[in-house]
Structure 1
Amino acid sequence: MKQKIAAYISLMAHPLITISIFILVVMFSYEEFNKALFISFLLVGCVIVPSTIRNYTKTKNGEYTNFDVLVKKQRNSVYLFAITLLVIINCVLFFTKQSEDLFLGALFALFLLIVSYLVNFFIKCSGHVSLTIYLAFLIMPINLIIGIIVLLFSGPIGWSRVELKRHTPKEVYTGAIIGFTIGLLMIVTEGFI
């Protein structure tokens, strides 16, 4: 029973799912339709969808052992791919003069991936946990209560990753530290604290 619960939590908290939902809800709730469509296309269509297709294809071809890319050595190419896409997206956001909050959110997401990539040479950190915590910090300026709930939910997510033997406790804590540090830096930079 614990394995089923852990698998469900882990699947529902997959960063490709949670970040997509966040982007779509926020964009279409707070921006005019054309801008929401443009930003959603940039972030979901040009980062999330290609990353999903790439992981699926490489898993199916046997290049990755699984969709979550749990082998530390295999993760380097995942990080480099995502970093490259986010560099391009950040350039587009900057040169199309998008809001400072949107640009900084994407820029700090890029920093999170770069730090995770560098840390991956030493330890495989939990992306589920780091990105959930970062997402909580993105939500807090919009709705503090929901942001805190998402932050607290990172605990069960971390438990699920350990329960499924996808990460060790040390890897989960490392992901938590990365997500919390980058999220806090973003909030401070944007002047919300």
Structure 2
Amino acid sequence: MEKEQVAYRLSQIFHPAIIEIPGAILALYMFGLPLKEIFYFAVLPISILTAVIYGVLAMPKYRELNMNTKADRDMFYILSILLLTITAVATHHFNGPEIIAGLYPGIIAVGIINYLINSKVKISLHLTGMGVLTAVFTGLSPGYGILFLIFSGLVAWSRIKLGRHTPLETFLGFTVSFTVILASLLFTMGSA
């Protein structure tokens, strides 16, 4: 298999709209949450968020779902921040699990930071998602964190190889999300 094909497959497998649900289920289950809470407070909100965002971005006003333009990415970030804030409030209102409620401020902060960076640089959403997962799995065990760090390196390579991002854009995507989410996790749980 050629390097471009490997890069394309990696990019598909670790697409933020695909990897986040199984990643969230596994991590939250490993944190000890019951599957019912995982479904109501993670899977359902992530699914709704993804469906709304992709539904809006599929409208004729926007170019495509790849979000290659700044306008597409601005709409993505604005919708994400709004919907994540609503979900965070609902999670708090319905006494959602502490780990999930505690991560929402960090996830919203990542959205705001990425939105601001987006005015200058096309930050990698693939690596943003991988940074979130790496931080959460690092909170479970440094060994899992190292495994996800390796996966993140492969995803960064794939995005650069496909010409979708520069090394800086992948680095920023990972670093911003990893740092903010790990700090959020440390604050929420007392230790990662």
Q: TM-score, normalised by structure 2?
A: 0.87
The 1:144–1:95 alpha-carbon spacing in structure 2 relative to 1, beyond 3 Å, is same
Cα separation, partners in 2 of 1:71 and 1:39, compared to 1, 3 Å: same
Q: What is the aligned partner in structure 1 of residue 23 from structure 2?
A: 22
Contact 1:137/1:184 (CA < 8 Å) preserved in 2?
yes
Question: Does the aligned pair in 2 maintain the 1:6–1:164 contact within 8 Å?
Answer: yes
Cα distance in structure 2, aligned partners of 1:9 and 1:114: 27
CA pair 25-5 structure 1, distance change in 2 beyond 3 A: same
Hey, what does 2:106 align to over in structure 1? 108
Q: CA deviation at 1:28?
A: 5.6
Q: Across the two proteins, how many residue pairs are aligned to each other?
A: 189
CA contact (8 A) 2:27 2:136 kept: no
Alignment match, 2:62: 63
CA contact (8 A) 1:112 1:178 kept: yes
Structure 2 unaligned segments of length 5 or more: list them: none
Q: Quote how far apart the aligned CAs of 1:173 are.
A: 1.8
Deviation at residue 176 of structure 1 after TM alignment:
2.4
The Cα of 1:103 is off from its aligned counterpart by 0.7
Q: Are 1:165 and 2:163 counterparts? A: yes
Distance in 2 (alpha carbons) for counterparts of 1:4 and 1:41:
30
Q: What does residue 45 of structure 1 align with?
A: 47
Q: Distance in 1 between matches of 2:8 and 2:86?
A: 33
SS in 2 for 1:25: helix
Distance, in Å, in 2 between the alignment partners of 1:152 and 1:41 is 25
Decide whether the 8 Å contact of 1:137 with 1:147 is kept in 2.
yes
- 1:74 Cα offset (Å): 2.1
